[in-house]
Amino acid sequence: MSLSRPAEGYGPRPAEGYGPRRGLVPPPLSLMDAEGNFDMRGGLAVKAPPPCTEVAKALCAWLAAIPGVGHARLGGPPSGGEARIELRLGLAPTAGEEAYSIMLAPGGALIEAATTKGLARGAATLWQLALSEGSVIAACRIEDSPRFPWRGFMLDTARHFFPVETIERFLDLAALHRLSVFHWHLTDDQAWRIDLPSLPELAQAGSRRLDMRYNVPVWKAGSYSPLDVRRVVAFASARGIEVVPEIETPGHVTALLASHPELSCLGASAPGEGAPRFEPADSYGVFEDILCAGNDKVFELLEKAFGDLARIFPAAFVHAGGDEAPKTRWMACPRCAGRMRELGLAEDDHEGLQAWFMAKVAAILERHGKRMVGWDEILDSEGWIPPSAVVMSWRGYSGGERAARRGHGVVMCPQTAACYLDHKHLDRIEEPGQLGVCTVRDSWSFEAVPAGLGGEAAARVMGGQGNLWSELVYFGKQAEYMAFPRLCALSEALWVPAQGRDFGDFKERLAVHLGRLAALGVNHYRGPLE
């Protein structure tokens, strides 16, 4: 993933008739009208030699579902009134990994990019045009490229399980908004959702919990097999989306401790006396039992777990958590105290112990060819975390600012500003959500590079993401309500240059874009935007 940025600024002003820039969200850098129409009413023949074929298949699936198109097929010259679309790696690499151009003309359509990711962005823009304009699209030329490479969406599949079909639907919707990363939160106190070949007991004991909040207790269960993961990764890849898995350490591990209670401080410091018992948690919050930093067996397990994860997921990044790890148990644990003495840490420097812990995880991941991503707590102590680690700033901007100044790549997703999709859309009793309010305008106003950051440090901001925690989100349609249209707004905040953004312009385009979401049956929030 490169950190290159396009020159700031917009191209020509909107085409008429479909709202500014045809209602595209995010708007492309440049859109110019051309003569005539691109007419898909006779069906489509899509030419896409390898390696463009997978993106072309996704495009065929999207366009075949547009009313009036009838069919979209891959390969062969057009016949019997079919329109032609060609996907080609025709742009120079200097254009940028995700840059693309689209030429839509009466004689056919051409999408060009330097990479298949760029083609996926172009295909998504064509899909947006077809969703709003139908099977006959006014001709135009589009040139486009994003501001940030990391434009992410996080789904918490631990608090509640979402089937692969729901994840695929979200990947389609993420692709529609030209997002680039799916951050898959796989483990937490309430569940361990990934079947690891080396450690099957983790999901066996950790993926089921008895939900006691109903008059009749209900079993909630579900985990993803390596086959499920391969399916999700392939689906995402065809849409130009990287899948970044997350296994939480050293905290948020109650579901892990269900099969390995001996790895808690209580278990580790009382060997032979019977370890405590843990069940996946049936309540939410921050839990005191975390992985014991003084027990070498913890790192033996993490070596296996992250090794498996690295083999199953092809992306360069793996998220290792690091947030909300209370030090209560570490403070009372003789093994943790021994470790701190061994490391030369002051006896109250438990943040230093956490930084050492996360640095060990980073080293495990590096051995498996991956870069660690961690929540901003990983930098609460200096001197351990390698500069290759990427910091995800969630407790506001300050953790990300500090990380960028220290040389780390940064993904901004401040809970306080704009990026928490589990918050309410409005401060109203009837709105679902938790912990705060984040309006669509808040998300649209998100600026990933804080004002105090400049130069090289600012360039280390790789982008940002929307995080959908699922404590109160039980199924896919509810997840859609929480995500949209805030994710549309965030996609725009991460795509377009900082200059020239205008909320009035966004609102006009969003009015068109909500029609697209409606056409796709998305259960989006419909209330005031601010």
Give the per-residue contact string, 268-307, with ligand ACM (x = CB under 6 A; - = no).
----------------------------------------
Is residue 117 within 8 A of residue 110, CB to CB? The reply is: no
Element (H, E) at 361: helix 350-367
Residues within window 28-87 making contact with ligand ACM, judged by CB under 6 A? none
- Supply the minimum distance, in Å, between the C-beta of residue 363 and Zn ion: 20
Q: Residue 98 corresponds to which amino acid?
A: E
- Supply the minimum distance, in Å, between the C-beta of residue 414 and ligand ACM: 10
Name which of 375 and 506 has its Cβ closer to ligand ACM.
375
Among 262, 282, 323, 447, binds ligand ACM (CB under 6 A): 323
CA distance 233 to 216: 37
Q: Residue 436 corresponds to which amino acid?
A: G
Contact of residue 333 among Zn ion, ligand ACM, none (CB under 5-8 Å per partner type): Zn ion
Distance (Å) of CA 352 to CA 47, 336, 337, 355 = 56, 12, 12, 5
Contact of residue 471 among ligand ACM, Zn ion, none (CB under 5-8 Å per partner type): none
Binding site for Zn ion (CB under 5 A): 265, 292, 294, 333, 335-336
At 190, list the tokens.
Answer: 């309430």
- Supply the minimum distance, in Å, between the C-beta of residue 422 and ligand ACM: 9
Among 38, 375, 397, 506, binds ligand ACM (CB under 6 A): 375
153 contacts ligand ACM (rule: CB under 6 A): no
Name which of 381 and 393 has its Cβ closer to ligand ACM.
393
Element (H, E) at 337: helix 334-343
Contact of residue 224 among ligand ACM, Zn ion, none (CB under 5-8 Å per partner type): none
- Supply the minimum distance, in Å, between the C-beta of residue 382 and Zn ion: 22
- Supply the minimum distance, in Å, between the C-beta of residue 12 and ligand ACM: 41
Straight-line distance from the first to the last Cα atom of the chain, in angstroms, rounded to the nearest whole number: 34
Name which of 115 and 269 has its Cβ closer to Zn ion.
269
- Supply the minimum distance, in Å, between the C-beta of residue 453 and Zn ion: 37
Name which of 285 and 344 has its Cβ closer to ligand ACM.
285
- Supply the minimum distance, in Å, between the C-beta of residue 195 and ligand ACM: 24
Positive or negative, the CA dihedral 351, 357, 359, 365 is negative
Size of the site for ligand ACM (CB under 6 A): 4
- Supply the minimum distance, in Å, between the C-beta of residue 375 and ligand ACM: 5
- Supply the minimum distance, in Å, between the C-beta of residue 323 and ligand ACM: 4
Contact of residue 294 among Zn ion, ligand ACM, none (CB under 5-8 Å per partner type): Zn ion
Contact of residue 282 among Zn ion, ligand ACM, none (CB under 5-8 Å per partner type): none
Contact of residue 366 among ligand ACM, Zn ion, none (CB under 5-8 Å per partner type): none
Contact of residue 323 among Zn ion, ligand ACM, none (CB under 5-8 Å per partner type): ligand ACM
Is residue 235 within 8 A of residue 169, CB to CB? The reply is: no
CA distance 457 to 498: 17
Distance (Å) of CA 10 to CA 13, 21, 97, 170, 451 = 8, 11, 19, 29, 22
- For residues 223-256, one letter each, b for 16 or more C-beta atoms within 10 angstroms of the residue's C-beta and e for the rest, the string is bbeeebbebbbebbbbbbbbbbbbbbbbbbbbbb
- Rounded (5°) CA angle 149-150-156: 160
Cβ neighbours for 28, distance < 8 A, ≥ 6 positions apart: 11, 21, 125, 142, 143, 144
Residues within window 382-411 making contact with ligand ACM, judged by CB under 6 A? 394
Name which of 154 and 203 has its Cβ closer to ligand ACM.
154
Name which of 192 and 394 has its Cβ closer to ligand ACM.
394
Name which of 323 and 447 has its Cβ closer to ligand ACM.
323
Cβ neighbours for 373, distance < 8 A, ≥ 6 positions apart: 244, 246, 317, 318, 319, 320, 389, 390, 391, 392, 411
Is residue 240 within 8 A of residue 151, CB to CB? The reply is: no
- Supply the minimum distance, in Å, between the C-beta of residue 133 and ligand ACM: 39
Name which of 297 and 501 has its Cβ closer to Zn ion.
297
CA distance 302 to 202: 12
Contact of residue 336 among ligand ACM, Zn ion, none (CB under 5-8 Å per partner type): Zn ion
Element (H, E) at 491: helix 486-495
Name which of 292 and 514 has its Cβ closer to Zn ion.
292
Give burial (CB, 10 Å; 0-12/13-18/19+) of 92.
exposed
324 contacts ligand ACM (rule: CB under 6 A): yes
Q: Residue 273 corresponds to which amino acid?
A: E
Residues within window 415-444 making contact with ligand ACM, judged by CB under 6 A? none
- Supply the minimum distance, in Å, between the C-beta of residue 291 and Zn ion: 8
Name which of 106 and 436 has its Cβ closer to ligand ACM.
436
Name which of 342 and 430 has its Cβ closer to Zn ion.
342
- What is the phi/psi pair of residue 261, to 5°? -60, -25
Binding residues for ligand ACM, per CB under 6 A?
323-324, 375, 394
